[in-house]
Amino acid sequence: MMKDKDIINMGKVIFGFSLLLGSICLFGYMFTKNEDFADVGFMLLVLGSVVNIMVVFGLLVYGFCNTAIMEACVYTAIILLTLIPIGILYAIIGFNIL
């Protein structure tokens, strides 16, 4: 059974990893104009969104099944959902510089 801090730390790691990969792709393209960064970035946008939504859904299901850690699951889901506006902003910037 996972503890509250383990669930929150897992969410922070997923958030950080997703943000880091997205930032590498965006700024890599901005500084080098290498189209591979843009291609990987848009693929990451699609696949990363799917993976993050699956993790959020899994957290909420896990929280409903184990109500003692529901608060930690919701907090972690909110952390991951903050990637949505960041992803939209990165996509707008990416489309404008292409």
Measured distance CA(78)–CA(16) in Å, rounded? 14
Summarised one tens digit per residue, pLDDT across range 8-39 is: 999 999 999 999 999 999 999 999 999 999 99
Measured distance CA(62)–CA(80) in Å, rounded? 15
1 has pLDDT over 80: no
Summarised one tens digit per residue, pLDDT across range 49-94 is: 999 999 999 999 999 999 899 999 999 999 999 999 999 999 999 8
Q: Where do we find the tokens 């404008």?
A: 96
Residue type for position 78: I
Report residue 3's pLDDT band, with 50, 70 and 90 as the boundaries.
Answer: confident
Helix axes 35-65, 83-97, angle to 10 degrees: 170
pLDDT at 56: 95
Report residue 97's pLDDT band, with 50, 70 and 90 as the boundaries.
Answer: confident
